[in-house]
Structure 1
């Protein structure tokens, strides 16, 4: 079993965060969510936008829709994928570093 350094752990954490956000929220991956979720927006009396998520279908389709509508659920599977890539496909590390940098940049941007 390879030893996991603290810097690699930080990279894996940020990569998992960014991958989760990419799958659950980003417009670029809406085509992945579209078969499973119907998302609508409306404005309330205070001018705030309210997002409504309707899970489509039954069976497996509904299960995947429930998964994709849950940030915490997708986070578990994203972390599992990131760790699996790191562990069994060392060449994927550059991809994980890119995700980690993007994730860290997103956090910094959200604080400014």
Structure 2
């Protein structure tokens, strides 16, 4: 079974990896084939192409699959704890950063 500490690490790692896939610039080359750029007079936005575009633009959808991946790693892949720990620390850091940005406004 999973302890409370392991669950917290899995949660924060899942959060960080999900954010990486859905929002972060570093993952943009992987996302870009699944989106088109739409424009009107003053605005520009990304429009998902097809089912896969819809899925990778949805934080809730990606979060489900990432959580399956992280739990699988934790339970079945030896030495995956280091990866999960690093992603969890990065997840906590990004939450603290976002919190500090909203407190400063």
Q: Give me the TM-score of the superposition, normalised by structure 1.
A: 0.80
1:23 to 14, 21, 24: 21
- Alignment-derived partner of residue 97 in structure 1: 85
Deviates more, 1:87-96 or 1:13-22: 87-96
Alignment of structure 1 residues 1-112 onto 2, 5 Å: 3-39=1-37, 52-56=45-49, 62-112=50-100
RMSD: 2.1
SS at structure 2 position matched to 1:34? helix
How many pairs align?
100
Q: Call closer, same or farther: CA 1:80–1:64 in 2, change over 3 Å.
A: same
Could you list the runs of 5+ residues in structure 1 that have no partner in the other structure? 45-49, 57-61
Residues 53 and 69, structure 1, Cα contact 8 Å, conserved in 2: no
Q: Call closer, same or farther: CA 1:88–1:72 in 2, change over 3 Å.
A: same
Higher helix share: 2
| CA shift digits 1:9-55 (9 cap, x unpaired) | 0000000000000000000000110110135688x7xxxxx762212
Aligned equivalents of 2:37 and 2:21: distance in 1?
A: 14
Could you list the runs of 5+ residues in structure 2 that have no partner in the other structure? 101-105
